[in-house]
Amino acid sequence: MKYLLLLVAICGGYYFHSEKPVQALEINTSRALFKKLETSSVNSLEIIEGASFFALKMCGDASFQVAGGHTTTSCRKKFN
């Protein structure tokens, strides 16, 4: 009897865990992007959006662009 009760508890826990509504995460920081990657699956559009976000962030980093011999303006022109 206790094994049956344990089995019901495990199956019920799995059911409620898998049926839990997934909360949409708004990706506006790299931390939010990594959190979404760790907690759920992503589609190709979200990957493109995340890569674009990262590229624009790197284009906006003046010290990074100067180290590479470019400007933030030229980086954004190349990106677009």
Which residue matches tokens 């760790």?
38
pTM summary value: 0.49
The token pair that represents 18 in the structure block: 């898998």
Question: Computed from CA positions of residues 65, 69, 74, 80, in that sequence, does the dihedral angle turn out positive or negative?
Answer: negative
Query: pLDDT for 19-72, tens place per residue?
Result: 555 555 566 676 777 777 777 777 788 778 878 888 888 888 888 888 888 888
What the block records as the tokens of 75 is 């980086």
Count of alpha carbons within 13 Å of 20, Cβ hemisphere only?
Answer: 10
Residues ≥6 apart with Cβ < 8 Å to 58: 64, 75
